[in-house]
Chains A and B, each alone.
Chain A
């Protein structure tokens, strides 16, 4: 398929490090996930009390999108196309554990993977298309095809797409801003290269 969209910007959060467009933005040796996320929150000078009530998946999504959206202009029609392996399994286990004593509605609401898309939409006032896919590993073909189709059909002027996985406190975040302007052509190969090697 002919493709004239570009990967304008990208963020990775992996192994206690936050990368922005390939360069290291922040590193912290904190072993506890929540403490690490709190450090990133402070580093980004965020003041968003709701953040502290979120589950880990939503926190990761908010932090990564904060970097993308403060570095780039964006429309409220920006589409969000995320994917992962573990769905909301981390939140599922936490809610399941809570049912032993008192089933927590505050935990239950996070037992869907697309809640992070809602949290990001609220924070940045995005009213566009959303889709959450689940696959055993990052399906760059599906994400490229679907994002390209949305942009080509003018369902969205730009999109944030990628991978956002969390399980057993192990996280892997790779989100890209796809736009009609940029240097890196948006293709399956380039998406894969950035995800695995950059």
Chain B
């Protein structure tokens, strides 16, 4: 079985600008979601002020030369590079996951050139900033993008063209996306409540993250991606499947290929957006896959939905869950509001874990399942 080892990482979010600040808040069940108003519409969202970003960015480069998202991504990648000064920037590829990139430039370009709106240009800007020489790659596959970028990197390792890679992900809280989800009547007016009885929609959030991955086993205790699968529902472009078909198929595919049965999965980091239909779809898929007793969490009450960043951030948090033998709470979860029994985490707990499952689903009918394993020295 080939492994993709998850090495150093960084998370830039309303909870903090380092992974350790993020983990501290996640352990305490602190949410980064705040009341947020746009175009007269009230919701809750995860927002990072420009001032806070520029204060951190000033030491690296001139803030006015980069967009907000670029700065967030640069701050994340910089931390990973700082921890790994020996990395060869000529050979290491950069894989970027994003759904909307610099979408805020669409109605206000400011001083930036028009081409900055292209996702390829965004990735090239990051690549040039750090002096990477390989062509950057961009994955834009709705809300599974961040996790799919890890899958893709693992699969590309088969070419033997690289041993290490930097996978990064980021998306903004933009009026564009807020207006869009509002047009779907999918935004909650309250802090979102994944899997709960009175859940009524999502909170959006912004974040960026980066992680160094490798095909070579590190000398210390580590976590690796050992199985990955994605499947399309072939059902509806925006409505979740009633049978959870694609998600069920993704899960059963990696369970079969890795040989890890539901009893051995210690924790499941679900997508859990807190819309009525998404959480019910996941429930049906988890029930069909016999995951009813596995502790399940959603991080959306902490971060909101950070779109292309979410599945990568949640994979990184899954890594720490394995390394530190801990389960994270589903913030804002109260009374179960789904059709099948599930074991939704309500508080932080210590638990010895060997395998963690991460799942995600998105528009276009896409679904993803990732299996992570703890490796002792």
Contact = CB atoms under 8 A, between A and B. Distances in A.
B107 interface: yes
A162 B120 CA distance: 16
Contacts of A99: 176, 179
Nearest to A119: B237
Given A96-B176, A119-B237, A135-B138, A103 B183 contact: yes
B106 A130 contact: no
A134 B120 contact: yes
Contact of B158 (A133, A142, A152): A152
B252 to A, nearest CB: 12
A95 B180 contact: yes
A108 interface: yes
Contacts of A86: 118
B250 to A, nearest CB: 9
Interface residues of B, number: 52
A1 B233 CA distance: 32
Interface string B360-371: 001111100000
B137 A135 contact: yes
A14 interface: no
B170 interface: no
B139 interface: yes
B187 to A, nearest CB: 12
B155 A103 contact: no
A111 interface: yes
Interface stretch (A15-23, A62-70, A121-129, A175-183): A121-129
B159 interface: yes
B142 interface: yes
A88 to B, nearest CB: 8
Contacts, number: 155
Nearest to B157: A149
Interface in B69-94: none
Identify the interface centre among B152, B181, B233: most chain A CB within 10 Å of its CB. Answer: B152
B22 interface: no
A136 B120 contact: yes
Q: Interface of chain A, helix or strand or loop or mixed?
A: mixed
Interface stretch (B59-67, B224-232, B267-275): B224-232
Interface in B135-150: 135, 137-142, 148
Contacts of A95: 176, 180
A99 B183 CA distance: 9
Interface in B205-232: 229-232
A109 B137 contact: no
Given A109-B363, A117-B364, A136-B121, A146 B106 contact: no
A68 to B, nearest CB: 17
B140 A132 contact: yes
B103 interface: yes
Given A112-B142, A133-B137, A135-B135, A118 B366 contact: yes
B318 interface: no
Interface in A120-174: 121-122, 125-136, 139, 141-142, 145-146, 148-150, 152-153, 155
B28 to A, nearest CB: 34
A149 B159 contact: yes
Contacts of A105: 180, 183-184
B118 A103 contact: no
Interface in B172-188: 176, 179-184
Nearest to B143: A112
Contacts of B103: 92
A187 interface: no
A118 B176 CA distance: 22
A118 B365 contact: yes
Given A127-B232, A132-B139, A149-B158, A115 B249 contact: no
B164 to A, nearest CB: 16
B140 A134 contact: yes
Interface string B246-265: 10010000000000000000
Given A96-B176, A114-B363, 19 more contacts: A86-B118, A89-B117, A92-B103, A103-B183, A105-B180, A108-B183, A111-B176, A118-B363, A118-B364, A118-B365, A126-B232, A127-B246, A131-B141, A133-B139, A134-B139, A136-B121, A139-B135, A145-B159, A145-B161
27 contacts: A1-B159, A1-B160, A85-B120, A87-B101, A87-B118, A87-B119, A95-B176, A96-B106, A96-B107, A103-B182, A108-B183, A109-B237, A115-B142, A117-B232, A117-B366, A118-B237, A121-B232, A125-B234, A129-B229, A131-B141, A131-B152, A133-B137, A136-B118, A139-B137, A145-B156, A146-B155, A153-B155
Interface of B: 99-101, 103, 106-107, 117-121, 124, 135, 137-142, 148, 152, 155-156, 158-161, 176, 179-184, 229-238, 245-246, 249, 362-366
